[in-house]
């Protein structure tokens, strides 16, 4: 399953990823841990790799969906103007991972999938979620 041509790097959570809301930050940290594990799994050479991958994906999906529900509820509460865009982004993500699980989790290139999940996470947090940071800070004041 490993593709030795690509070197994928895990990312450590730091303050620059903070959206100013402790619960959302915790969720994002956990999502990042799941994605770091995806990267670790696809780059390991051990033979249990596929089993670990298949166990990991549904847990990741359940956690991500839970995060999206809570995040959308919070954004709705503060009348965040780009809520529709967030809902659409969350839906696209859920569809991708659902499709992969429905296909047995092994369709396509797992390295590419892990890489695209990491891109998705950084884009989700640094672009889309950073846009609501001010709303979240105001909510806590
Ligand atoms: Fe988020």
Per-residue pLDDT of the chain (141 residues; tens, 9 = 90+): 555 566 889 999 999 999 988 999 999 999 999 999 988 888 876 666 777 777 888 899 999 999 999 999 989 988 898 899 999 999 999 998 888 888 776 667 788 888 889 999 999 999 889 988 877 776 666
Residues spanned by the domain of 60 = 20-140
Q: List the CATH number of the domain containing 61.
A: 1.20.120.50
**From ligand 1's centre to the CA of 30, what distance in Å?**
11
**From ligand 1's centre to the CA of 105, what distance in Å?**
24
Can you give the pLDDT at residue 49? 72
Can you give the pLDDT at residue 108? 72
**From ligand 1's centre to the CA of 14, what distance in Å?**
15
Crossing angle of the two packed helices 49-77 and 133-140, in degrees rounded to 10: 60
Q: Is residue 1 part of a domain?
A: no
**From ligand 1's centre to the CA of 124, what distance in Å?**
6
Can you give the pLDDT at residue 110? 81
Q: Is residue 52 part of a domain?
A: yes
Q: Is residue 11 part of a domain?
A: no
pTM: 0.85
**From ligand 1's centre to the CA of 111, what distance in Å?**
23
Q: Is residue 85 part of a domain?
A: yes
**From ligand 1's centre to the CA of 66, what distance in Å?**
10
Q: Is residue 3 part of a domain?
A: no
Can you give the pLDDT at residue 6? 67
Q: E strands along 6-103, which residues?
A: none
**From ligand 1's centre to the CA of 68, what distance in Å?**
6
Q: Is residue 6 part of a domain?
A: no
Q: How many C-beta atoms surround the C-beta of residue 114 within 10 A?
A: 24
Can you give the pLDDT at residue 29? 97
Measured distance CA(58)–CA(38) in Å, rounded: 12
**Structural domain count, the chain:** 1
Q: Is residue 2 part of a domain?
A: no
Specify the residue for token string 């992969």.
Answer: 100
């Amino acid at each position: 399953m490993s593709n030795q041509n690509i070197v994928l790097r895990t990312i450590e959570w730091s303050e620059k990823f903070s959206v100013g809301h402790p619960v959302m930050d915790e969720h994002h940290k956990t999502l990042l841990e799941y994605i770091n594990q995806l990267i670790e799994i696809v780059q390991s050479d051990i033979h249990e790799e596929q089993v670990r991958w298949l166990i990991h994906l549904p847990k990741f999906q359940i956690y991500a969906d839970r995060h999206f529900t809570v995040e959308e509820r919070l954004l709705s509460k503060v009348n965040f103007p780009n809520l529709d865009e967030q809902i659409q982004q969350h839906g696209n993500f859920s569809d991708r991972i659902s499709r992969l699980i429905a296909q047995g989790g092994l369709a396509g290139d797992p390295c590419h999938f892990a890489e695209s999940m990491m891109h998705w996470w950084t884009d989700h947090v640094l672009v889309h979620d950073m846009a609501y940071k001010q709303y979240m800070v105001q909510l806590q004041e």
